[in-house]
Chains A and B, each alone.
Chain A
């Protein structure tokens, strides 16, 4: 039972990462991120119940309230204020991006067998999915032009790191996790302000314009 829930949630996170790659509407991408975080929270809760580790409950609650409610809400507000709803054509078109992501997933899964814990059973899938998501997140950050999508990519990477930690050590110490959570909120808040500034100055969220001279 535990095993099935864990695998279902991990695979769901991977699917949501893929849909994010194939997606251009920013609202949908944010919703996908919220779903992904909810699934991560479910993984944490399942592990907490199975291994009887109470501090994991705190982490799960934190993940669900912050990452699947507060941050998406904040990002949606930012988008509403700016009034830009779609990703423009990324540096790499969608089918090509998907192909690259397939390769990245293969690499992620392959690398996950290098961990002593990552060779069999649930851990293999958890770590494999997490490493794949990490690579997909990095790839998204490099190829997308909108600042908000890049923030979402960064958050996906953060989710992936959390999932690796859960898979290998069944969670980092509570203090570390709390620190990371507040870091993430601060980062998102600051990036939100930064996006406002970029839009103010350049009248676009396209970060590739940042390298142009503005006189």
Chain B
């Protein structure tokens, strides 16, 4: 019983920490992007203000919608929070690693996406349906690519469980294999596709011809919208953390003492910041792809992921 209680407390703590940090990540990326365009940009904490403001508002829902519409953001938020408990962040153990590994993580995220896509269809507005159809088109390719990229790392460490996997990688020490770089490239493209960043989607506009994620959540207002935005930020932070875990397990704590914990938190924020900088760089130097070219980009990622896996056997 004590074991289960400890895991639960650990899970709640880690999820709360990531939830608190997620809007800051969006703020940092917006600020860096603004710096690239020699603008001043919104204040770092703007995302917090936005979420707080939206949460205080009265929820307004269309009369034609059913419970599916109200459930969408809640399931999306819940799955994003649940996913954080499956990933090691500061310590080489995931809070709920006894429950499942990579497949559960991918499945949980897919459930959230499914809930949001069906909620968007529920409104009956053409934008919602268009957004869901686009999101699902990309997801159909991005999901297998995500799995292949994660499998390539799993093969190196010999376990599908993310906790065991990261422990294995940390013990192995830095030993590079070509598959690491291929897997990293593959997962980086997936990160950009899944978090709706520029070559795939533009989070800053509501242009009807190009938007994907924004089209899906166009009908939401107030607390519903706050949940969606918060969950999206959390998902992005989760993907960045995964990249840091799998490809740069430096500084992650193997035992929990105040000193190692401090190092782990610093190392984690540095790594996430570095990857976020990479994302900003890609976003600032590339033009958005035409919608029908997006599957080609994601297919490239799928190819790289498959190669990362295959090259281990060659």
- Which of A22, A102, A105, A106 interacts with B297 by CB under 8 Å? A22
- Which of B174, B182, B306 interacts with A4 by CB under 8 Å? B174
Question: Chain A's nearest CB lies how many Å from the CB of B303?
Answer: 4
**Interface contact B181-A11, CB-CB below 8 Å:** yes
- Which of A7, A15, A24, A95 interacts with B185 by CB under 8 Å? A15
> In whole angstroms, what is the CA distance A129 to B307 when docked?
12
**Interface contact A105-B296, CB-CB below 8 Å:** no
The reply on A94 being an interface residue by CB < 8 A is yes
The reply on B300 being an interface residue by CB < 8 A is yes
**Interface contact A95-B299, CB-CB below 8 Å:** yes
Report B-chain residues with C-beta under 8 Å of the C-beta of A4: 174-176
Report A-chain residues with C-beta under 8 Å of the C-beta of B299: 22, 94-95, 98
Question: Chain B's nearest CB lies how many Å from the CB of A35?
Answer: 12
**Interface contact B300-A8, CB-CB below 8 Å:** no
Question: Chain B's nearest CB lies how many Å from the CB of A94?
Answer: 4
**Interface contact B178-A11, CB-CB below 8 Å:** yes
> In whole angstroms, what is the CA distance A22 to B304 when docked?
11
**Interface contact B314-A15, CB-CB below 8 Å:** no
**Interface contact B177-A102, CB-CB below 8 Å:** no
> In whole angstroms, what is the CA distance A72 to B300 when docked?
24
Report B-chain residues with C-beta under 8 Å of the C-beta of A3: 176
Report B-chain residues with C-beta under 8 Å of the C-beta of A109: 311, 314
- Which of A14, A21, A128 interacts with B182 by CB under 8 Å? A14
**Interface contact B178-A129, CB-CB below 8 Å:** yes
Report A-chain residues with C-beta under 8 Å of the C-beta of B283: none
> In whole angstroms, what is the CA distance A112 to B32 when docked?
44
Report B-chain residues with C-beta under 8 Å of the C-beta of A15: 181-182, 185, 304
**Interface contact B306-A102, CB-CB below 8 Å:** yes
**Interface contact B304-A18, CB-CB below 8 Å:** yes
**Interface contact B178-A7, CB-CB below 8 Å:** yes
The reply on A10 being an interface residue by CB < 8 A is yes
**Interface contact B181-A8, CB-CB below 8 Å:** yes
**Interface contact B177-A7, CB-CB below 8 Å:** yes
Interface band, chain A? 20 to 34
> In whole angstroms, what is the CA distance A78 to B180 when docked?
36
Interface size on B, residues (CB 8 A): 24
The reply on A34 being an interface residue by CB < 8 A is no
**Interface contact A110-B314, CB-CB below 8 Å:** yes
Q: Please, which residue of chain A has its CB at the minimum distance from the CB of B183?
A: A11
Q: Please, which residue of chain A has its CB at the minimum distance from the CB of B185?
A: A15
Report B-chain residues with C-beta under 8 Å of the C-beta of A18: 300, 303-304, 307
The reply on A56 being an interface residue by CB < 8 A is no
**Interface contact A12-B181, CB-CB below 8 Å:** yes
Encode A56-80 as 1/0 by CB contact (under 8 A) with B. Answer: 0000000000000000000000000
> In whole angstroms, what is the CA distance A14 to B295 when docked?
21
Q: Which residues from 167 to 213 on chain B have a C-beta closer than 8 Å to any C-beta of chain A?
A: 174-182, 185
The reply on A175 being an interface residue by CB < 8 A is no
Question: Chain B's nearest CB lies how many Å from the CB of A200?
Answer: 30
The reply on A99 being an interface residue by CB < 8 A is yes
The reply on B155 being an interface residue by CB < 8 A is no
Question: Chain A's nearest CB lies how many Å from the CB of B30?
Answer: 26
Question: Chain A's nearest CB lies how many Å from the CB of B102?
Answer: 22
> In whole angstroms, what is the CA distance A15 to B182 when docked?
6
The reply on B310 being an interface residue by CB < 8 A is yes
> In whole angstroms, what is the CA distance A146 to B294 when docked?
22
Question: Chain B's nearest CB lies how many Å from the CB of A193?
Answer: 31
Given A4-B174, A15-B182, A98 contacting B300 (CB threshold 8 A): yes
> In whole angstroms, what is the CA distance A129 to B179 when docked?
11
The reply on A125 being an interface residue by CB < 8 A is yes
Q: Please, which residue of chain A has its CB at the minimum distance from the CB of B314?
A: A109
**Interface contact B296-A128, CB-CB below 8 Å:** no
Question: Chain A's nearest CB lies how many Å from the CB of B79?
Answer: 29
Given A18-B300, A94-B300, A98-B303, A106 contacting B181 (CB threshold 8 A): no
- Which of A12, A102, A128 interacts with B303 by CB under 8 Å? A102
Interface CB pairs A-B, < 8 A, 6: A8-B181, A11-B176, A22-B296, A98-B300, A109-B311, A125-B178
Interface residue ranges, B against A (CB under 8 Å): 174-182, 185, 293, 295-297, 299-300, 302-304, 306-307, 310-311, 314
- Given A4-B175, A10-B178, A15-B182; 14 other pairs, CB 8 A cutoff: A7-B176, A11-B179, A14-B178, A18-B300, A21-B300, A22-B296, A22-B297, A22-B303, A94-B296, A98-B302, A99-B303, A105-B311, A106-B314, A125-B177
